[in-house]
Amino acid sequence: MNDIIINRLLGVGIALSNIKDEGQLYQIILESAMDIIACDGGTLYTIENDSLKFRVMITRSQNVKKGGDNGPIDLPNVPLRKENVCARCALERRVFKVDDVYKSHDGFDFSGPKKYDQMTGYHTQSMLVIPMEDDKGKIIGVMQFINAIGKNGFVGPFAQWHTNVVLSLASQTAICLTNHNYSRQLERTMDSMVSVMSTAIDALTPYNANHSRNMAKYAKKFIKWMNETGEGWSFTPEDERRFIMAVQLHDVGKLVTPLEVMNKETRLNGREVAIHNRFKYIAKIDEVDYLKKRISAEEYKSRKAQLEAGHQIIDTINKAGFLKDDMLKIIRDYAKNTYWDEEDEDFLDPQPWLTEEEVHLLSIQKGTLSAEEREIMENHVVMTAKLLGEMEFTDADQNIRNWASDHHELLNGSGYPNHKTGDDLDWNVRLLTILDVFDALTARDRPYKPPMPLEKAFAILDDMANKEGKIDPIILDLFKKSRAGEPDDDDEAAREAAREAEKDRLIC
Ligand SMILES: [Fe+2]
Ligand SMILES: [Fe+2]
């Protein structure tokens, strides 16, 4: 093997090690081999289900190039029968060299190439078929070369050095394919682990429902739309894989967030039962005090009315989405009331109708979480960063951790936990944040609230983008334009939920 050929082989080896796409890998291998040995045609097969699968087919003089990075070849697999020279090469791990297909007496069935010749006017003459083995000696494919072209430009038989070169290339190829398969396998393992984690996060609480799954669905539709229309920015399959992984992992910190905080439906979260019982008990004490003439009839009547109203008021405040100031005042006034249970030796002083903690919880102005509980809830994103910090990512996948950990940061710096601003937040995390808010508003699978109509959700998102400067207005407009957030035509359940939500909106 001369230096020129050795250098070309080394060059091919380096090129092969950098290729990620399987189809492209097959094409480069076959084309490089054909270049080095100078032949007109070639086919590369891999073994699949005990047959040979076409991966790349090239006939240069006829301008034929199928498979490789052009996608799969639409031809049936070749069964592993000994009459077929390629199949026999795979079965017997042997190189076969045929000088003239039409004069061969080796017992091979060359009806295939002959039929091809008849249909196309081509003339198949010489053939070299070599097996491809992996590092464990397992046959992983076959390369077939057609019509060696001599220095005089005419087709002639393949020489021994052709076999040596192609075998050397085949062993490099097998190593590359094995490595490629290992990395694909690792990727698939990683993807499936992330998918399992995502399912676990979603299943953790009905408050999550299908949150990550919904977001991934919107993301895929949106990316497809951008790639098809050329609007926005383009995603390669690798970019998309990384982004979807960030979506699936963005709330992984919820796995270590206390469920009683995540599932808290009301301010008191069950403590209201104790309050109702206490109010009934106080009413009894008051009745005794009145009968024993410790309190006047007016005072008894007033306290009784207050206690009776209290049941309803506590329930209303407990479940309200937002408390106006007058409601907060009612709670504070209630807290001033006291009772004295003389039967209870522990009570030396009058006791408040509502404990400090109950007043604190009932005074939550918005939502159901107290400041401390909100902090615990918001900490899920810190935990996302911590957990993903312990997870091994390849260099190319490092951004997954950042996108996932920054999904509650907002462009104007009002997000958490690090109050990052626009400059620190790339397009991917900006999109992730929009998908996160969009699903939180429109999800139709939460037990505690009906879905918000799309129109209303987009009005809120519009305000966040254009009035408050929290989210990216360009990405939001693209997302709206893509209609990726709308139910699929065949998703009748989603359409029905949307119709119901629309009805609610009209009634309200
Ligand atoms: Fe989150
Ligand atoms: Fe989320």
Q: What is the 3-state secondary structure (H, E, C) of 128-161?
A: EEEEEECCCCCEEEEEEEEEEECCCCCEECCCHH
Lowest mean pLDDT among 88-102, 187-201, 254-268, 341-355: 341-355
Q: Under CATH, to which class is 204-255+393-507 assigned? A: mainly alpha
State the pLDDT at residue 503.
Answer: 46
State the pLDDT at residue 355.
Answer: 92
User: Residue 174: is it exposed, middle or buried by C-beta count within 10 angstroms (0-12/13-18/19+)?
Assistant: buried
Between 419 and 173, residue with greater pLDDT: 419
Which residue type occupies 84?
N
Say if residue 190's pLDDT is above 60.
yes
Please give the distance, rounded to the nearest whole angstrom, from the Cα atom of residue 263 to the centre of ligand 1.
Answer: 14
Mean pLDDT over the full length of the chain = 89
Lowest mean pLDDT among 202-216, 298-312, 406-420: 202-216
Which residue type occupies 450?
P
Q: Classify domain 3-182 at the CATH topology level.
A: Beta-Lactamase (3.30.450)
Q: Please tell me the distance from the alpha carbon of residue 85 to that of residue 91, in angstroms, as a whole number.
A: 10
Lowest mean pLDDT among 77-81, 160-164, 348-352: 348-352
Say if residue 432's pLDDT is above 90.
yes
pLDDT band with cut points at 50, 70 and 90 for residue 391? very high
Nearest 10 degrees: Cα torsion 171, 175, 180, 181: 90
Please give the distance, rounded to the nearest whole angstrom, from the Cα atom of residue 249 to the centre of ligand 1.
Answer: 10
pLDDT band with cut points at 50, 70 and 90 for residue 495? low
pTM: 0.71
Q: What is the pLDDT of residues 322-349, one digit of tens each?
A: 888 888 888 888 888 999 877 776 667 8
What is the phi/psi pair of residue 45, to 5°? Answer: -115, 150
State the DSSP code for 465. I
Lowest mean pLDDT among 88-102, 183-197, 442-456: 442-456
Question: Relative to the alpha carbon of 382, which ligand is closest?
Answer: 1
Which neighbouring-strand residues pair with 97? Answer: 128
Please give the distance, rounded to the nearest whole angstrom, from the Cα atom of residue 47 to the centre of ligand 2.
Answer: 44
Instruction: Please tell me the number of Cα atoms within 13 Å of 450 on its side-chain side.
Output: 14
Say if residue 456's pLDDT is above 70.
yes
Q: What are the CA-CA distances from residue 57 to residues 15, 42, 43 (Å)? A: 20, 6, 4
Please give the distance, rounded to the nearest whole angstrom, from the Cα atom of residue 212 to the centre of ligand 2.
Answer: 7
pLDDT band with cut points at 50, 70 and 90 for residue 284? very high
Q: Do domains 3-182 and 204-255+393-507 have the same CATH topology?
A: no
The structural domains of the chain, with segments of one domain joined by +, span 3-182, 204-255+393-507, 272-368
State the pLDDT at residue 494.
Answer: 59
State the pLDDT at residue 248.
Answer: 96
Please give the distance, rounded to the nearest whole angstrom, from the Cα atom of residue 152 to the centre of ligand 1.
Answer: 70
Please give the distance, rounded to the nearest whole angstrom, from the Cα atom of residue 188 to the centre of ligand 2.
Answer: 24
The SS3 of residue 121 is coil
CB 128 within 8 A of CB 158: yes
Between 140 and 386, residue with greater pLDDT: 386
The two structure tokens encoding residue 28: 């480069």
The 10 Å Cβ neighbour count of residue 149 is 17
CB 197 within 8 A of CB 247: no
Please give the distance, rounded to the nearest whole angstrom, from the Cα atom of residue 441 to the centre of ligand 1.
Answer: 13
Mean pLDDT for 238-250 is 96
State the pLDDT at residue 493.
Answer: 61
Say if residue 158's pLDDT is above 80.
yes
CB 368 within 8 A of CB 215: no
Lowest mean pLDDT among 14-18, 231-235, 243-247, 252-256: 14-18
State the pLDDT at residue 502.
Answer: 45
Q: What is the pLDDT of residues 44-88, one digit of tens each?
A: 999 988 899 999 999 999 999 999 878 888 889 999 999 999 999
pLDDT band with cut points at 50, 70 and 90 for residue 180? confident
User: Residue 329: is it exposed, middle or buried by C-beta count within 10 angstroms (0-12/13-18/19+)?
Assistant: exposed
Question: Relative to the alpha carbon of 437, which ligand is closest?
Answer: 2
Say if residue 455's pLDDT is above 60.
yes
Please give the distance, rounded to the nearest whole angstrom, from the Cα atom of residue 462 to the centre of ligand 1.
Answer: 20
Q: Please tell me the distance from the alpha carbon of residue 209 to that of residue 223, in angstroms, as a whole number.
A: 23
Q: Please tell me the distance from the alpha carbon of residue 119 to that of residue 167, in angstroms, as a whole number.
A: 31
Mean pLDDT for 197-205 is 90
State the pLDDT at residue 507.
Answer: 29
Please give the distance, rounded to the nearest whole angstrom, from the Cα atom of residue 323 to the centre of ligand 2.
Answer: 26
Q: Please tell me the distance from the alpha carbon of residue 453 to that of residue 430, in angstroms, as a whole number.
A: 22
Mean pLDDT for 357-365 is 93
